A and B are shown apart, each in its own frame.
Chain A
Amino acid sequence: MSDYFIPDPEGRTPTAEGYFGAFGGRFVPEALVAAVDEVATEYEKAKQDPSFAAELDELLVDYTGRPSPLTEVRRFAAHAGGARVFLKREDLNHTGSHKINNVLGQALLARRMGKTRIIAETGAGQHGVATATACALFGLSCTIYMGAVDTERQALNVARMRMLGAEVVGVETGSRTLKDAINEAFRDWVANVDHTHYLFGTVAGPHPFPQLVRDFHRVIGVEARRQVLQRIGRLPDAVAACVGGGSNAMGIFHAFLADEQVRLLGFEAAGHGVESGEHAATLTEGGPGILHGSRSYVLQDDEGQITEPYSISAGLDYPGIGPEHAHLRQTGRAEYRPVTDDEAMQALRLLSETEGIIPAIETAHALAGALELGRELGPEGVVLVSLSGRGDKDMETAARYFGLYDGADDADPEGDE
């Protein structure tokens, strides 16, 4: 019995075809069908193999540092209508975010499949850093695709990946962000599928990725649920997480799905505001469509061309979202709200100054949401937030946004434009 690798109990979601209600599936070119089939088959075998769980558990404890702590943030909560706010500290994992949970699981799968090379996409660089880390650990060759806009705004993470021995390829096509990095990774995979595993970084993509990435992150919610119960003797009223593709959100939501009294809230990047047209609020403003191998919600025009998203946060700057989120929204089990750049940046500063914790800009969207939720719930309320990543990588963007460099005392509320 595994303590940290805790896949969804048998017989729930998705269907054998990879559907969560109306969303999901496997929209891949024929050349990749055999490869995604192989991943699905190997994952099912691995789930039945106690040695797989044992090895993953050991890594998650001794290498990642699980379980991650639960921190109550009282000074921050004073700004949230007096509700109690707890942070699930995925920022304290090795490599600085939740991404390592999925990466270690898939790296073990890749080794079982005999793959010698790993490719991955990255937006903010957190998935890329985690992937490069696992490849260093397992002695696998590693290529990371990253949009050229993101290699610039997340330069620190580019250096980290290269330090870990990975090749980082800047992608100059399209919007030059996460979406385009995924396109380029798929092109690589089609050509090199014999020896290469595409270590997909979020709960999107073709079946089985939405399922297996979720399963590797379920530990976040399983731990947090147990920790909150131990701490206060009851469940939280609401669970908040940021959503780009939606991996940390799905990881923390999933263990609470059956607790109907617990509200699940995902906070999307509203960029300059949803009315501005410059945002990445896929569930708020998008519609059903197919992107990167599954049917979900996408930002698109009336003829199915994907539109360019915008967010100050590289990790949320994506015009799609995982299909299970689209399903949870449709069934009403989860709610999704937009948070602007400015709201997120104010929350980032607030948590830094009140608690000494600098979150990633992605995560700051969830914190802005928690402030709003706390005020709605009032002093009796309890909010659990997925603190999905730390903000070291964002200091350049934050310093420019707030004018933190010497000789730049005037804050620039418009950010880095």
Chain B
Amino acid sequence: MSTDSGGNRALLESTLAAAKDEGRAALVGYLPAGFPTVDGGISACTALLEGGCDVVEVGLPHSDPVLDGPVIQTADDVALRGGVRIADVLRTVREAHAATGKPVLVMTYWNPVDRYGAERFAAGLAAAGGAGCILPDLPVEESEGWRKAAEEHGLATVFVVAPSSRDERLAKITEAGSGFVYAASVMGVTGTRESVGGRAQDLVARTRSVGELPVCVGLGVSTAEQAAEVAGFADGVIVGSAFVKLLLSAGEDLEGGLAGVRALAGELAEGVRRTG
């Protein structure tokens, strides 16, 4: 579906729409690029998609991951010490998409993109077959330059909303964003949690009431039960730290880690398909 000049925003939109037509939530997985190595990370993203995720978010590791808990901090640190570069992130996007045909997003803090150049990054991401970008620390007020570049290159811009977001901001963010809205289930950083929290359902309802975009819920989901619960009220379920944890605990045994990732993706995919 990719064209020479355009990114795969339309593929992201049609994937989410197809899940909706099936009467289920989409499953979105997250893994950082370069973890445990660049090639290992590509295999992991591919395993996650083959295992049952509909979409993958490839994290661009950052020296100062202020919104991440210890699990993703550790993975970012491993990736950066391994020397991961933006070119490696883009290669991860390209290969994961090429192997599966599924939509691949990048999730990144803003400074690396700002430094690399928003236009240059958007062009590179689109050329790699990327579908869009999630920018959790770029507030909508500062996003105009990026959105213009993303629009030009056929990329979605996914904004994050939080339980603390007031309705007028939800409207502004939903208006500016594309692809889907990332609803943070709780106030906090990434990491698995026992309970996803009642504020998520309220946030999804409030976000839907002000716009048309699908709303996917992230932060804290790690089990099929939680995925099923969130799938009951959201358009998509986002899982990150639980996958990273599997790879971290597998250590040197990459094949074992990949098998774990594939199995968890399968369980979560079953979770988002449960009815009632």
Contacts and interface: CB of A to CB of B under 8 A. Distances in A.
B64 A27 contact: no
Label chain A's interface by main secondary structure: mixed
Contacts of B67: 29, 187, 190
A187 B173 CA distance: 23
A350 interface: no
Contacts of B165: 30-31, 33-34
A289 B136 CA distance: 16
Contacts of B77: 173
Nearest to A192: B187
Contacts of A30: 136, 139, 159-162, 164-165, 169, 173, 184
B63 A27 contact: no
Residue among B63, B85, B189 with the most chain A CB within 10 A? Answer: B63
A35 interface: yes
Contacts of A17: 141
Interface stretch (A95-103, A226-234, A265-273, A300-308): A300-308
A28 interface: yes
B64 A191 contact: no
A38 B77 CA distance: 34
A: interface residue count bin: 35 or more
Contacts of A290: 110-111, 114
A173 B113 contact: no
Given A304-B111, A304-B113, A33 B137 contact: no
Residue among B64, B73, B116, B187 with the most chain A CB within 10 A? Answer: B64
Contacts of A179: 64
Contacts of B263: none
Residue among B85, B163, B165, B188 with the most chain A CB within 10 A? Answer: B188
A34 B111 contact: no
B250 interface: no
Given A29-B67, A193-B164, A305 B62 contact: yes
B138 interface: yes
B71 interface: no
Contacts of A291: 64, 111
A76 B161 CA distance: 57
B162 A174 contact: no
A367 to B, nearest CB: 32
B86 interface: yes
A25 interface: yes
B57 to A, nearest CB: 16
Contact of A26 (B65, B139, B159, B164): B139
Given A34-B165, A304-B116, 17 more contacts: A27-B139, A29-B160, A30-B164, A31-B187, A31-B188, A33-B139, A173-B73, A179-B64, A183-B66, A187-B66, A187-B69, A190-B188, A291-B111, A298-B111, A303-B115, A304-B111, A306-B64
Nearest 4 CB-CB pairs, A to B?
Answer: A304-B115, A31-B162, A304-B112, A191-B188
10 contacts: A28-B139, A29-B66, A30-B139, A30-B165, A30-B173, A32-B164, A34-B165, A289-B114, A298-B111, A303-B85
